[in-house]
Structure 1
Amino acid sequence: MEEELKPVVGQKFQSLDLVFAFYDVYARAVGFDTRKQGMRKVDDVTTWYYVVCNREGQKKSNEDDQLNARSGFSMKHRRLSRRRGCKASISFKYFSERGHACYIVQDFNEVHNRDMVESEHQHFMSINRPLDDVHQKFILDCSKANIGPILTFKVLKETLGVFDLISCTVGDIRNVSRDIKAYAHGFDLQMVLDDMAKKKEMSESYTYYYEVNEKNQLVTLFWCDGLMKRNYHMFGDIVAFDSTYNTNRSMRAAIEEVLVGTRHRWCMWHVMHKLATKVPNRLLRDDDFKKEFNACVWSDLLEPDEFEEEWKRVVECHGLEDFDWFNTLYEYRQFWIPALFRDFPLGSMIRTTSISDSENSFYKKILKPRANIAEFYLNFNHAVEFQRNSRTTLDYHDAVVLPILATTLSFEKHASTLYTDTMFKKIHEEIVEGNDRCRVLGFSLIEFVDTYKLRDSNRNSYSVSVVDDWQTLSNQGISMFYSFLRRFEGDIEVVRAFVGGVEELGNSLQAGNPTTFASEKRRMIEEFYGMVRPEVVEVHPPNVVKTKGHASSSSSCLISKIEKALKDASRPLRWCKACDEMGHHDFRNCPMLKEMAMEKELEKGKRPT
């Protein structure tokens, strides 16, 4: 190692940052990690700083670990230590020179009691793994895309080529995710509500509503933007709720009470899936039975009385009169037979929970477990953007691709411009079938109204008119625009105000939030969320509950205080760095630290989170 890299007692530096940078360069060259051990401050000015080798000191719980190991306890949190009593250290002292703050090397001990890290392992040292702004931004972007730490590390390796250039580990990437959650802990719900309030100010069509309990904890939250409302208005003829699971049964009762006129329906797939376990094996091998039974229960073309006759015939023909399962299905036929939903608008379209399953599968790929409310809100918005982008992609595909026409009818060509490719295929089948039964005799266009003259196979004539609302409105808008210009042709100020108003309206409809970039860690996390952490929390997140399993299972049953005490007695004690005592906690969940944090929040006048 070159001598100019080695610190010397009395060496001066202009700032503390230069001190750290110089000693880090020395530590990298020698091959050891450092740890900031102590400091003194006077009036917010650091007057003394002490840095040691990361092998300095001894693990406090060494003797306790040995005692627990000899006693036969299983070491669930067995944590190894790097500390070996190394004495290498350096200290810096503050002084003022000509009115400028400076630091001088006060003491320096370069002797280590161990071998240095070998060159092939030095890129694993924490001093060689600083996460710069580029790494931070990349990891945050991967987290936004729901890419986990391991896959993020693999992408970094493929991007940079070799592991030596990655300058971080999977653990470092996990720590970034930890910092993201820590930044929003206790503030996540308030951040979301503040963001919704901003969107409400920007757009009157944005709606959000929430309820809290007596502790100001969230109970319910609902939100939707203008496009969601428009989609519901255009395609909300029928809305399906999946209440299959036990946790959703209360939702079923609430829906029937709030949304009057709803009808509960069983999933056909779940009913038919049980067929294999309920009927005799001889019928499972009978193709005629399968064909007749499926034609009876799946058809939405049968009238209710026709279904009754067909069901009775199938049951009697195959000897199923004494099977309780079939009799029960018949008693509850109003919940699952499509023929009995013919009076309900579009009731024959949704027979299974496949639509809900499809949505669940889609959101499962984008949302992630153990996310806080702010992350869920962020990921949900990304999912909605992804769906809307897919729709725009399909619109582009339909706009540039020429459909295949089966006839020379102008009606078919016109339909191909109105419908998407997927829907046109269904319409196309009806057009081809109708072409054999009905002929187009003529076509006329008068004031944006398309009129078709038709004749069926019985030589009856019909007249059908189609109004193009979009063309009508667009021509009306153009006519109003030119009429205004002609009326105020001589008044330039009125025309300028009119054009400015139209331009402002167009900008407001197309306005978007520009993407910002920041180098600071806090700013990057704020960019990740798209929201700023508030100073005061008025609404708190709800309590975390288990959503898996059942309350009756032994693994999720609540245990008594006696059972908890017995369980704690069988666990090995751990040393807490915060309170410096042995117990069943560590510095992360130490009750003393929680009390101190509560006192600080009360001193600041904040509500404890």
Structure 2
Amino acid sequence: MIFDNLESAKSFYKRYALACGFSIRKATQWKSRGTIQGKYFVCSKEGQKAVKEVDTLDEEHKPKQKRRKPSQCTGCEARIRLELTVEVRAFNIMRTIFGGFNHVGATKVDCKNFKRGQNLYISEYDAEMVVQRLMRKKQYLPNFSCEYTTTPDGVLKGLFWADEYAKRNFYTFGDVVSFDATYQHNKYNMVFVPFTAIDNHNCNVTLGAALLGNETAETYTWLLKCFKDAFGYAPKVLVTDQDPAMKRAIEDVFPDTRHRLCMWHIMDKLSGKVGSKLCNETDFKERLCDIVWTYQITPDQFEQQWAA
């Protein structure tokens, strides 16, 4: 069977197990480059726990030692094995479009070979092809914005884009914009930088995105200028982490924008700043969270309790 995602497969097997009279649990999985490539879901009674024999007639037996309770594991072998197979999914989509495997005109092996040939054709020109595709969209779509910059050697250093949906989101919900560069790097060590806001349903909406080759003030300045050119004006409030390069770029490009630091990043560094012992063995963290995550105290009360 083929599922759209891991959660759909889990839901299916959970319903199947319920109909058959057993429950399931997660088991072994394996990853590649941070992506789950395969996973097992097994019966909750899978496996056998090791039995530790206790001789109660032994005079040297420790009095506190107790007999193990009977194990709930019975060695049940019911399981499902899931594997990420993009090629199979593509082949299945073709089967749906053409009305059957016999009408596709190719086999699964042909699809794999075609993908391998594509990768060989793209090779080191993948960045150039992405830029060309986005610039063509900019040429033919009036509301699409795209800018890029390269090093003197011609290596892609920065890429920014925003489509019509992103611009509509900005004009509606763009008073407060989050600007974050803490995501994982890709294989070219380029960091993904999304611009996001919150809509009136408290959901994240995308206002644009970028790929950056480094996180210097110069690069952030270029990016913020691209953002301002795309949307026509700067947001009222910009929320970032405590990156000094970001701070410098915001002061240069958005001088009238109120720059605020992300509270999540500040609280995430709390243990490192004051020590894990104070955070974990006292009520310090609870007391701090009580004054940070509330709107029910005045600024003066906050300053007094913060100092305390």
TM-score by length of 2: 0.39
From the two aligned structures, give the one with the greater strand fraction.
2
Larger Rg over CA atoms:
1
